[in-house]
Chain A
Amino acid sequence: MEKREKIESIKNMNRMQEKRENPSTIYSAENLTIGYQDGKKQFIVHKNLSLDIPSGQLISLLGPNGAGKSTLLRTLSGAQMPLGGMLTIGGKDLHTISAKKRSMIISVVLTDRTQIGGLTLYELVALGRQPHTGFFGRLSKKDDAIIEQALQDVGMTALKNRYVAQLSDGERQKGMIAKALVQESPLILLDEPTAFLDIVSRIEIISLLHQLAHKKNRTILLSTHDIEQALILSDQLWLLRPDKGLVCGTTEDILLNGDMDTLFDNKKILFDTNHGTYYPRITHEKEISLRCENNILAHWTINALNRCGYRVNVNNEFLPMIIAEDKHHFKLKTAQQEWQLTSFEELVKSIFILH
């Protein structure tokens, strides 16, 4: 009990120190070099990374496969030594903090294979209390209350007595997040928490993380490939690019600075700033004109025409023209002829006839 109080007071001291130094940054790295050490050989993944993690925000780390997202997260979590540079958390060098205290400052959700099918959800979440419990891991009433609260925060109270094996992938991931919550660490790092999940679970998980950051004041850094959802709910985006290093910033700044185009080193992929998605570049050999009043209809008509190899010009009377009135009324006009079309299927078929 005394020991626990001592650790508690150290945590509070850390918080106070942070506040004096910099009110919003809880974790920072300077000139960080990440990579692997094998004997004397070093495999450097990234050099000279500098970053600040502001408190209470949701940060999404984006980057292509192999860019080093997992390596960066492992280094930040303390699981892997940096090859150079300085990691400072709460005013202290991360690697001078004991493993036990570190486990109360940083918690992780990983993609590792586990053997937890034979535990109940409650027992899984309770594992997160290990840094706080005594030698045999016995749970106190306070521990039980914290676990119940975390289960409620992730919306899984009803399932607490189910075996983990009986949970869906999304529910399991929420269980892991609850495990991280009961560690009571200010910082949570998640390595691709939405991988292998269906779209509903993906959106649920990222909304949950957003809520935890804003309502429970946890600082959350996750790596993800779900760019669309990340753009909507992340306070910050971190783009980790294989050769050009890391760019960090508030989501909208990153978007409108054109940084998104530098994320993937591939000329065939473009970022659509209007819609916040990446799309494949399609080469258009042919041109066609479109007249349409309805924005949504116009968007999808352009989509269909692009796919068929047409660049769309608006109201150019020297080109064949499509007039879209609604989704069942299209007209295709050329200098010689005019067709009435009642669906996209007919539209797509008939523009092939043009050539």
Chain B
Amino acid sequence: MNSKRTRWALTITTLSLIALVFANIWWGAIHIPANEIWAICTGKTSSNEAWQFIVLESRIPQAITALLCGASLAVSGLMLQTVFNNPLAGPSILGINGGASLGVATVMLFMGGSFTVADYTLTSFLSVAIGAFIGAMVVLAIILFFSTLVKSNLMLLIIGIMVGYMTSSIISLLNFFSTAEGVHSYMAWGMGNFSGVTRGQLPLFISVISIGIIVSILLIKPLNALLLGQHYASNLGINISLVRNMLLIGVGLLTAITTAFCGPISFIGLAVPHMARLTLKSSNHNVLLPYTLLFGGVIALLCNLISVIPGEYGLIPLNAVTPMISAPVIIYVIVNQRKIQYFN
């Protein structure tokens, strides 16, 4: 770990994060002058009530949601990559997003579209979130179980992809039996969207994510030991099954809550840990993990900003933006793996 490099990276990323939060609040379907936005953010009343409503009820919650979702998915990806000793692991590729989606679909479609994503009541929201959590935990538990049987990393990834396919085929079946409204709201949710959390739901959303992030921070020391592999780690006094259970809860919570609110967002969990490692030139979780949280926030805010670029003409679905930013990084990493330090 190069401390000068780390300091620079942290400074620049933090500044970008702040800039992106403001850009996200400023830019949107309706043009609001920057000085008005500043006034609203600093607690003064704006001359235009609609603007005030948009900023406080939509744009600020959306920016916070994007930041937290990005951080959650990125840190989930990092934890999975280290624990599975596999640089291509991530919540979407291992089917954990898929599990959460299945949970969401089950709840949504069985409720027959009686509610849409835009207006969750608290109970309906809770049932969706719990559905997502159960789905994510079940898939993660299946993957952890297979990881004890299958020694090859590649094979484990393929099992993850297969589990993902199975969840999506069950979702298709559910769609088949559900009402048109149910399918429609599920489809809209599936495109990914950071505007799903209203200001009223924000406190709950933030609390659940905080629990997940605290779990990830508690795992920093064992994650470093796990860089040496499981056998070395347990010789260093790490309780492997405890770590696996904490991973189950941490990744389960983070993936579930983001998926329930924002849809199955792909690639951020896979790519951001690599971007963070490449920037820091280190796999030491003491800095890598907090930095991945930060970087995840930056990337998600950037994706959100791109998705609102058309302004009044509508939104680009988030899941059309994330692969454009993330997939080239993964390809770069795979092509250059001999040169990249953390592979060797």
Contacts and interface: CB of A to CB of B under 8 A. Distances in A.
Q: Verify that A and B bind, or say they do not.
A: yes
Interface of A: 74, 77, 79, 99-100, 102-104, 106-108, 110, 112-120, 123, 127-128, 130-131, 133, 135-137, 163-166, 183
A110 B232 contact: yes
A123 B281 CA distance: 13
B178 to A, nearest CB: 42
Contacts of A104: 237
B248 interface: no
A252 to B, nearest CB: 33
Nearest to A106: B235
Contacts of B224: 127, 130, 137
Contact of A165 (B1, B239, B342): B342
Contacts of B238: 99, 130
Nearest to B236: A130
A119 B283 contact: yes
B221 interface: yes
A99 B227 contact: no
Interface residues of B, number: 31
Given A113-B85, A118-B281, A119-B284, A130 B232 contact: no
Contact of B236 (A103, A165, A166): A103
Contacts of B282: 118-119
A323 B344 CA distance: 56
A107 B234 CA distance: 10
Given A117-B344, A136-B286, A165-B341, 20 more contacts: A102-B237, A103-B236, A108-B231, A108-B232, A110-B229, A110-B232, A112-B230, A113-B229, A115-B82, A116-B283, A117-B343, A118-B277, A119-B282, A119-B284, A130-B221, A133-B221, A137-B220, A137-B286, A163-B341, A183-B236
Contact of A100 (B225, B227, B237): B237
Interface of B: 1, 82, 85, 87, 218, 220-221, 224-225, 227-232, 234-239, 277, 281-284, 286, 341-344
A112 B234 CA distance: 13
A108 B235 contact: yes
Contacts of B221: 130, 133, 135-137
Best-buried of B85, B236, B342, B343 by chain A (most CB within 10 Å): B236
19 contacts: A99-B239, A103-B235, A103-B237, A108-B231, A112-B230, A113-B85, A114-B228, A115-B228, A115-B229, A115-B343, A117-B343, A119-B284, A120-B1, A123-B284, A127-B228, A127-B236, A136-B286, A137-B220, A165-B343
Report, nearest first, the 4 A-B pairs whose CB atoms are least far apart: A118-B342, A118-B283, A103-B237, A117-B344
A106 B236 CA distance: 9
Contacts of A133: 221
B165 to A, nearest CB: 28
Given A115-B85, A115-B283, A119-B284, A79 B341 contact: no
Contacts of A100: 237
B222 to A, nearest CB: 9
Contact of A114 (B220, B227, B281, B284): B227
Nearest to B221: A137
B229 A114 contact: yes
A113 B221 CA distance: 19
Nearest to A185: B235
A112 B239 contact: no
Contacts of B232: 108, 110, 112, 114, 127
Contacts of A114: 227-229, 232
A77 B284 contact: no
B344 A165 contact: yes
B227 A116 contact: yes
Nearest to B285: A137
A123 B231 contact: no
A136 B85 CA distance: 21
B231 A130 contact: no
Contacts of A127: 224-225, 227-228, 232, 236
A165 B339 CA distance: 9
A130 B227 contact: no
A14 B228 CA distance: 29
Contacts of B284: 118-119, 123
A112 B237 contact: no
Nearest to A101: B237
B332 to A, nearest CB: 16
A110 B231 contact: yes
Contacts of A79: 231, 234-235
B78 to A, nearest CB: 12
B84 to A, nearest CB: 10
Given A115-B342, A117-B343, A130 B225 contact: yes
